[in-house]
Chain A
């Protein structure tokens, strides 16, 4: 709650266009509350017109009833308008926030996105935003309505009879204490319940998710035993939690019934003494019945409000993350592919320097293989070339131009990239292949697919090129082939292949080798690979270790050198012929 004023102020900037609506909504809500509370009074008056046999004041009764009809009509329409306004406001604001958020995703530095993870950010954009609008905006209107209800109810009751009202005021807190008492008691049980449920979920995830292994080891009965054990524990804990928490309603209802009885008793005495009418008692009774409601409403609104506030905090924290370094306006244009790295320093974490004073000069058309043990900085280098990450010091030049002096788009359009992580859109095969070139013709798409040897499985898909790809419909290898096809269609002057064939079997790889070679011809290419066949044919091999280039040269030169590379080579491939 500490940061709340700031958060609310930020929310107000989004409310902006809806400010009038928000105020209107609050006004209508207050107005409707007053009307709805006034109706029981009118009904009370009606009761008083029914004096007795032959003495009913029909004129007065009809007059009041017409008023009631008007009031409920107005309040009905008012409520509907208020609901519609609230909808427009909340959904509009949610949309505005999300639209800002998706743009934010495009401009945030990758460093942030990599660090935060998909789940976290997605839940901020979707769930938290929903929660924020529901909790904060509606909560606000409900809060106002609740406060107005309490105030107006008290006012009307006091006007009716002071001491009965005092009685209600004194007794209502009992109901609060009772529900509070139950809530505290059940909290522990709920905690236990969710702990055990967590255990059970973990167990089912393992045993059902790994059902194949369970079966392969004939572990079924053991799994069942373990499950039954947790299940029984959960049953016991749940029974307690469910029962105990379900006491709230009957208990508060009982307390309210007592208050009701007290009001009836006291009211009856006042009527006998002539200080109250029967209609007045009926009003007091219906108020006494409703009096608790705004309090419970407000408590739940406040809880929700606090939750929504923390959601809002998370959303705004995301929206306010600093963007990536602003870019210069100059366009790079189509390059020939000379790449120079000069004195570059880089680290993901400030305290742990990774790449230090890195130098490299690569003429256009060179094929560069980057090898080294895991975590040596191979992928980092690619992050820097693509300007996914910014160098800490030094610069990277493409065709003698510092890449920070040109737009990111113009730089990236000069690269074709295939990564080990295969990402495809949840769209048709065609859309995925033409991702980088929407204007590609059918023939071009098919040709690229054939060259990359993905055509044979594409044509076997249920709807060929028009099959919609989802997460599980393709194997890892097939996905990788599609990623390669995607790049084959764009053919920019420079290529980055980061473990591009890691999921493809060697025979298929060999078959697409021709296509690869053709693709790489005359293009500056950076290859990260674990297969020696790919590495050996490179013009130059960069051997990296701990962020530095420890050796560079051709395969043969490096082997003769008997240094790091030859060690690496031996450790990976030794023993093969034994």
Chain B
């Protein structure tokens, strides 16, 4: 939490004024029992109606002053907590934007979304509550005690004893129940998981006739949840009666002592009523304080989660020197020099001994089974991950010596998972180039075989894309993401298994259009189908993180076992050929 406090700084004034004003309100509240005592002991005792009326107006005045201060405090507190939350969100968002892929893998994007939204909101509530109550409640609790001391020292000792006792009891019970409730939550999650499993797996469960076992498993989990709930509930149920009984015992003790005081003429009836009222005020605030502590605890946990993200380093560093280093003239658009790479915490290398050069303007095919490292290899080119060993060079320059944003401006990527964003088709295509004109968009669409997708939608380029692009089919999305990358007119184009949802004919037309792309575009085509890459200038065959062979289709058919096997396994897809 400490780490986050600096984001409260712009609201320093509000942060100080809100509790301060609350304090004044509390002070006003503390005066009320005294005024009542005066009414009883001076006004009533002497029958002075004028005095009573004056005191009545004093009470009304106090209420008004209290209201005014309280409202001002609420305003400051709202401004500070909301503003604080807004800057937290902003910082979090920037932070996440700068995270490397490795960091994103490690933390997981889903939890990041929760942190920006839910956790920050919880922190906001916490800050708000703290600003409003953190001074007020203890102030009233201790203020009551101090006021009691001004009335009668002996009676006040009852306060001095009961505050720590009550606080102790409340803490003790909460100390026991809060961890218990956490366990309850864990059990509930388990029940939820089993329920979902039963629903998502209903076909398999029925096919294997495992209904009874599933029910048994669920019942066991549900029973455990119930048991924990009962245990936690039984202890939690002590809280209210215990505080109630304690405060009333204290009041009784106070009456006994006050009785003596009155008998000795040290205090009046009104004073006793005042003490009684202070007692009541005190318990109300103590209970508030207890619930405040729960809120604060929750907020602190969330704050920790938030600050954990902010404390993470970006996971990637960019060079910042402006010096242009000498780049040796080279024909290589992309060169891998003895590259090995392993994901964090992985025991085995995902890629090892990658060594090849791709010349400018070449079309490169990358092929291999699932999990053999194709996508990983592609991710190293735009430096989404840093290599563990060796170096990757783009246009003769180590990717690590590119400035932030510089490398990516050369590269257009079509990811495996075709994701579009909410907005219009035009918005999505312009991701590649903010300034792109409609003609440029259309020419990219034509190459990507996606023109008919746009034409088929009402509004053409302005057609609405829903979140994630769910109003488009898989094939349509794939073609649009290809177009998106083409709008960028990149020097290097990477198609990461991005025609898997296209039928063979469209895939073929796409590859043909890409081949006709004039200029120096270096294209990487990652695929599982030999048919998609067999016309490439250069094919890299990957097997289990290693290069199994490089060369053209014909060469590889002669020299590379893995390639032959892959080819053979798909050969029957070709009309006119007999299964190998």
Contacts and interface: CB of A to CB of B under 8 A. Distances in A.
Interface of A: 36, 39, 43, 46-47, 49-56, 58, 61-62, 65, 68-69, 72-73, 75-80, 83-84, 87-88, 91-92, 94-95, 98-99, 102-103, 105-106, 110, 113, 118, 121-122, 125-126, 197, 200-202, 204-220, 222-224, 227-228, 231-232, 234-235, 238-239, 242-243, 246-247, 249-251, 253-254, 257-258, 260-262, 264-265, 268-269, 271-272, 278, 281-282, 285-286, 289, 386, 388, 408-409, 412-413, 415, 417, 419, 421, 423, 425-426, 435-436, 460, 475-478, 490, 503-510, 531-533, 536, 569, 571-578
A88 B230 contact: yes
A61 B255 contact: yes
A267 to B, nearest CB: 9
Contact of B74 (A243, A281, A509): A243
B186 to A, nearest CB: 14
Interface stretch (B36-44, B142-150, B290-298, B325-333): B36-44
24 contacts: A52-B262, A52-B268, A53-B265, A79-B241, A83-B240, A91-B226, A205-B467, A211-B99, A211-B112, A215-B101, A227-B93, A235-B85, A235-B86, A246-B78, A246-B132, A260-B32, A262-B56, A264-B39, A281-B273, A386-B207, A412-B206, A436-B208, A533-B573, A573-B504
A250 B218 contact: no
Contacts of B63: 254, 257-258, 261
A210 B419 contact: yes
Contact of B421 (A46, A73, A206): A206
A532 B572 contact: yes
B3 interface: no
Given A87-B234, A261-B59, A419 B226 contact: no
B199 A121 contact: yes
Given A211-B99, A250-B70, A506-B528, A39 B248 contact: yes
Contact of B59 (A47, A208, A217, A257): A257
A414 to B, nearest CB: 10
Contacts of B574: 573, 576-577
B97 A423 contact: no
B305 interface: no
A99 B97 CA distance: 45
B171 interface: no
B464 interface: no
B315 to A, nearest CB: 12
A35 to B, nearest CB: 11
A251 B67 contact: yes
Interface stretch (B174-182, B351-359, B440-448, B562-570): B562-570
A151 to B, nearest CB: 21
B39 A72 contact: no
A278 B509 CA distance: 97
Contact of A216 (B128, B415, B421): B415
Given A110-B206, A206-B468, A211-B99, 13 more contacts: A47-B272, A83-B236, A83-B240, A118-B196, A201-B113, A218-B409, A254-B64, A257-B60, A281-B40, A281-B273, A286-B276, A386-B207, A417-B207
B453 interface: no
A132 to B, nearest CB: 15
A231 B89 contact: yes
A173 to B, nearest CB: 18
Contacts of A206: 421-422, 467-468
Contacts of B255: 43, 46, 61, 65
Interface in B203-228: 203-211, 214-215, 218-219, 222-223, 225-226
Given A228-B90, A286-B280, A412-B206, A87 B215 contact: no
A69 B117 contact: no
Contact of B566 (A102, A268, A506): A506
A434 B574 CA distance: 38
A227 B117 CA distance: 12
A102 B218 contact: yes
Contact of B370 (A94, A253, A503): A503
Contacts of A54: 263, 265
A265 B408 contact: no
- Interface centre among B75, B488, B503, B569, by most chain A C-beta atoms within 10 angstroms, is B569
B528 A505 contact: yes
Interface stretch (B45-53, B390-398, B513-521): B45-53
Contact of A268 (B52, B229, B245, B408): B52
B81 interface: yes
B112 to A, nearest CB: 5
**What 4 A-B pairs come out closest when comparing CB atoms?**
A83-B237, A53-B265, A257-B63, A261-B59
Nearest to B100: A215
B96 interface: yes
B422 A126 contact: no
A477 B371 contact: yes
Given A72-B249, A286-B280, A265 B56 contact: yes
Interface in B156-208: 188, 191-208
B241 A265 contact: no
A75 B128 CA distance: 36
Contacts of B211: 106
B109 interface: yes
Contacts of A204: 93, 113, 116-117
B126 interface: no
B12 interface: no
A84 B234 contact: yes
A248 B501 CA distance: 57
B94 to A, nearest CB: 6
A102 B195 contact: yes
B491 to A, nearest CB: 14
Contact of A126 (B132, B191, B241, B368): B191
A68 B252 contact: yes
A408 B206 contact: yes
Nearest to B237: A83
A215 B256 CA distance: 74
B138 interface: no
Given A53-B264, A76-B242, A243-B74, A508 B226 contact: no
